[in-house]
Amino acid sequence: MAATELSFYDRISDALAKPEGQLAISAGAKAKYDNRARAMSEFPSMEITRDRARSIRAHTLSQLDKFLAEFADNVEALGGHIFWAKDAQECNQYINEIARAKDVQLVAKAKSMLTEEISLNQSLETSGIDVVETDLGEFIVQLSGDKPSHIIAPILHMTREDVGNVFNEKLNVPFSDDPATLNAIARTHMREIFLKADMGISGVNFGVSESGAICLVTNEGNGRLISTAPRIHVAVMGMERLVPTLGDLSIMLQLLARSATGQKLTAYSSILCGPRRKNEHDGPEELHIVILDNGRSEILGSALSEILYCIRCGACLNACPVFHSIGGHAYGSVYPGPVGSVLSPLLFGDPWNPLPHASSLCGACKEVCPVNIDLPGLLLESRSQQIAKGKSPLLMRLSQWIYAITSCNPILFGLALRSGQVVSRLLAHDGWFTTLPGPLQGWSVHRDFPALAKKSFRQLWDKPSQD
């Protein structure tokens, strides 16, 4: 993924300057947050299931090599093809090669953040292949040349008027802002794509190693269509997305649906075991599963490996007050929100280093995570790794040292307090500073800062009578 020209700070300013977009985002995220809360509260033994899910993820990752090998063997035994891709380039090249060899003209795609991560669409389009996103939200994103702003709800940032305008302009249909009408237009338009596509491309929600199955969940049914109608189905799977057994899958599916949208189950959970078999009515003739590393093995070996537990439900985005304020686009990554703030610097490098700092560490994300990932802990870990590598401004390092030296020496600390009191007496008005100097002015842009008390607590302790 390429860094955008704007810095993170510029993107934040841009986002905050668009109140309608922000309103749509925070209302949408809030609705999803409430739906999740309701669905979870109705879930018997929710905490036990959550612990169980976490332990399944931990267990899988602790023996991921074994489970991957078992998964691949089973896929091949079912007549599917496995391709092991080190990075985006290897993955995209492989899919391009199949497309060329099989004379693929039209690709129907189900929503997949992983394929966004590796810019697969652009790669195929460069080879002259038509790629159509079939998830309604993702289709609108594609039509308008936009980017998804949420991993589950790609057009969370758009109002219904926005969508109406996109359809009106790009599909030459009369303007309507009625969701049902817009949906009907999309259904008709997309029908032909499904029927004619030569290749369906999807991500993988979960792979099941004991059977070699992959599971796709969609509410719209596009995941089923692209894995049924086209003669070739290509599924791109992040290497961490395995569960050992079908029983484990059933736990994950329930948590995923409840966490993502508040449903008990997604409308369609499609568990695919190899390509079309003998005497079957339909299904793809070929199934290719690309297992992608793209930096994940490095994460697996690092102190941030817990982020690989993530099942991409988006609940942490919906709970995050920072996400509510700035929306998904400001993060500049396919993975926004708390999970994206941990993942993006790991997957895409230094330009994303400010992301982990964009958190007040309020912990709302951890509270809702279906596999109980310690997101605030990982954000802290990510910050400290940056500091350990010297990736922080000199002024920051200097001030942290001065602050630490002062705080480790009570005499210096007392002196600092007294000098603060002198400065307060001289410069504060009516007990408050209205502007702060240098790097501290970020504070005073939004609020006043209190003057130091005339007598500190330690001074009052000595002479309480002066209170």
Partner 1 sequence: MKRAHFLQKVSSAIGNRTLPDQDETSTRQNTPTTADLQTLINKFIEEANAVKAETHLANDDEVAFEMVMQLLNNQTNNKYMSWDDNCLPIKNLGQRLDSVDYLRYQSTVPRDTTERTRAHIKLAEVSVGITGCNAALADTGSIVLESKPGQGRLSSLLPAIHIALLTTDQIYPTMESYIKSQPESGYNSSNLIIVTGPSRTADITQTLTLGVHGPGKLHIIIIDK
Partner 2 sequence: MTKIKKSIVQLLVTCMVDAIRPQVGTAVKTILNNNGCEVGFPKQQTCCGQPAFNAGFLKQARAMARHTIDVFTNTSGPVVVPSGSCTDMIVHHYPELLKSDPVYSSKAKSLSKRTYEFTQFLVDKLGLTNVGAKYNGKATYHPCCHGLRNLNLVEQPSTLLDNVEDLEQVALPCAEECCGFGGLFSVRMSEISGAMLEKKLSNVEESGADVLIAGDVGCIIHMEGSLRRKGSNIQVKHIAEILNGCD
Residue number with CB closer to partner 1 (14 or 198)? 198
Count of chain residues binding partner 2 (CB under 8 A): 64
Q: What are phi and psi of 76, to 5 degrees?
A: -65, -35
Candidates 179-187, 286-294, 299-307, 442-450: pick the segment binding partner 2 (CB under 8 A): 442-450
Q: CB of residue 120 vs partner 1: minimum separation in angstroms?
A: 17
Task: Collect contacts of 296-304 with beta carbons under 8 A, ≥24 apart.
Answer: 296/238, 296/239, 296/240, 297/239, 298/346, 299/346, 300/61, 300/64, 300/240, 302/346, 303/381, 303/385, 304/342, 304/346, 304/378, 304/381, 304/382, 304/385
Q: What is the CA radius of gyration of the chain?
A: 26
Strand partners, 208: 213, 243
Give the residue with the Cβ less far from partner 1, 197 or 452: 197
- 384 touches partner 2 (CB under 8 A): yes
236 binds, among partner 1, partner 2, none (CB under 5 to 8 A by kind): none
**Residue 448 engages partner 2 in binding (rule: CB under 8 A):** yes
Nearer to partner 1, 10 or 298 (CB): 298
Cβ contact 106:196 at 8 Å: yes
Shortest distance in whole angstroms from residue 441 CB to partner 1:
38
Q: Which of 233, 258, 329, 366 binds partner 2 (CB under 8 A)?
A: 366
CB 382 within 8 A of CB 342: yes
- Which residue in the set 251, 271, 362, 428 belongs to the binding site for partner 2 (CB under 8 A)? 362
Q: Is the CB of residue 439 less than 8 Å from the CB of residue 395?
A: yes
Under the binding rule (CB under 8 A), the answer on residue 452 touching partner 2 is yes
If binding is defined by CB under 8 A, does position 302 make contact with partner 2? no
**Alpha-carbon distances of 138 from 12, 152, 158, 209, 260, rounded to whole Å:** 23, 10, 12, 29, 16
Binding partner at 366 among partner 2, partner 1, none, C-beta below 5 to 8 Å by kind: partner 2
Helix, strand, or coil (residue 435): coil
Min dist CB 357 to partner 2, Å, is 6
Residue 73 within binding range of partner 2, rule CB under 8 A? no
304 to 323, contacts with partner 2 by CB under 8 A?
A: 321-322
Query: How many Å apart are CA 154 and CA 165, to the nearest integer?
Result: 17
CB-wise, 66 or 389, nearer to partner 1? 66
Report the C-alpha gap between 124 and 95 in whole angstroms: 8
Residue 403 sits in the site that holds partner 2 (CB under 8 A) = yes
Nearer Cβ to partner 2 (101/408): 408
Among 93-101, 257-265, 308-316, 364-372, which window interacts with partner 2 (CB under 8 A)?
364-372
Least distance from partner 2 to the Cβ atom of residue 40, Å: 15
Q: How far apart are CB 94 and partner 1 at their closest, in Å?
A: 10
Specify the amino acid at residue 320.
C
- Our finding on whether 6 is near partner 2 (CB under 8 A) is no
Distance separating the N- and C-terminal Cα atoms of the chain: 60
Q: Residue 84 or 413: which CB sits closer to partner 1?
A: 84
Q: 295 or 321, CB closer to partner 1?
A: 295
In the window 8-67, what residues touch partner 2 (CB under 8 A)?
9, 12-13, 16
265, 357, 395, 423: residue in contact with partner 2 (rule CB under 8 A): 357
Shortest distance in whole angstroms from residue 216 CB to partner 2: 34
According to DSSP, the β-strands at 232-238 and 432-433 are unpaired
Kindly give, in sequence order, each residue whose CB lies less than 8 Å from that of residue 198, ignoring residues fewer than 6 positions away: 102, 103, 104, 105, 106, 107, 230, 231, 232
Supply 348's token pair.
């895409």
Structural tokens at position 34 = 């409430």
Q: How far apart are CA 2 and CA 175, in angstroms?
A: 35
**Distance set, CA 305 to CA 239, 320, 419 (Å):** 13, 21, 45
Task: Provide the binding-site residues for partner 2, judged by CB under 8 A.
Answer: 9, 12-13, 16, 321-322, 324-326, 357-364, 366-367, 380, 382-388, 392, 396-397, 400-401, 403-404, 406-410, 413, 417, 420, 432, 434, 439-440, 442-443, 445-450, 452-453, 455-461, 467
